[in-house]
A = this chain, B = another copy of it.
Amino acid sequence: MKLASLKGPTRDGTLVVVDRALARAVKADGIAPTMQHLLENWDALAPKLRDVAASLEGGHERHAFDFRQVLTRGEVAAPLPRAYEWLDGSAYLSHVERVRRARNDKVPESFYKDPLMYQGGAGAMMGPRDPIRALSEDWGIDLEGEVVALVGDVPMGATPAQAAAAVRLLTLVNDVSFRRLIPAELAKGFGFVNGKGANALAPVAATPDELGDRWKDGRIHLPMTCDVNGKQLGNPDAGADAQFGLHELIAHAAKTRDLAAGTMVGTGTISNHDLSAGFACLMEARLVEQVETGAAKTPFLQFGDSVRIEMRDASGASVFGAIEQQVISASAGIQPEPRG
């Protein structure tokens, strides 16, 4: 089953069921008004939505509409337009290794057993076509392509197996990062606040069964393509080099507290040891350039630049639809247009 949210009438959006081809959709608000409501009442409501999905796939939904059109018009919100918690792991240690190597440092041994994780903001997720707003190019604007799990209620102290059973939906996230703000912020020791911006999700979230045998050990075994200004930055395999599966990251996050339904847990920037896979963020390209040539030459994102993040299955079909965002200049202290 594939699900999305249209923008409005409230900040939680309107839940829709989308067909496998991401071509047609139908509102699900008679069953569950919003994705958050669905995640809180999954066992009761998901079977009904699966019936709608089957009927949509069979061409029997009279009120179905063209999903591609509403997506193009910018009317699609993040599948979960706002989340109570956003916990982002760092499962791909080749990403961490490159960061450390560039500063002549090693990855602590503990990182291979105890996941790195930070908590970020998700009170206003960007839709898949919403612009990345920044006040200055000097922030060092970067994308981070990741896989994210939307979970049901996870009790404190849940095992990885319990956590695996709580994974309701999977999708992609662009964890927007402001690289030049991060070193000073991390030096303070309390993690990221200013170094991370609002994040975008892919148009559609899918139940794990949609991935077939590509969903295994809490990992999606498919490459994710990241383009900047139409040029491929990388297509690392999300299953290849993940030190931790999503079930392990979720269990880590739940060690000392319950995670409420609607919590999002991310893998961290996808990264492969194989350099030919390229990168899912600009910083990693720069770090490799710095080590190999003495200087980083790939620029961070400038106003007007565009990014695209997508995952295709073995047949070449887009699994979640593409995140396609343009970076734009915003004015300080000015509320953007209403989201609802």
Contact = CB atoms under 8 A, between A and B. Distances in A.
A93 interface: no
B188 A114 contact: yes
A123 B194 contact: no
A303 interface: no
A9 interface: no
A258 B336 contact: yes
Copies of this chain, count: 2
A159 to B, nearest CB: 6
How many of chain A's residues touch chain B, expressed as a range?
A: 35 or more
A139 interface: yes
A221 B231 CA distance: 57
Contact of A332 (B110, B120, B156): B156
Contact of A252 (B116, B193, B255, B257): B193
Interface in A229-252: 252
Interface string A119-154: 111111000000001110001000000000000010
Contacts of A258: 124, 198, 335-336
Interface string A163-202: 0000000000000001001001010111111111110000
A277 interface: no
Interface stretch (A52-60, A63-71, A81-89, A292-300): A81-89
Nearest to A255: B194
Interface string A318-333: 0000000000001111
A11 interface: yes
A288 interface: no
Interface of A: 11, 40, 82-85, 87, 90, 108, 110-111, 114, 116-124, 133-135, 139, 153, 155-159, 162, 178, 181, 184, 186, 188-198, 252-253, 255-260, 262-263, 330-336
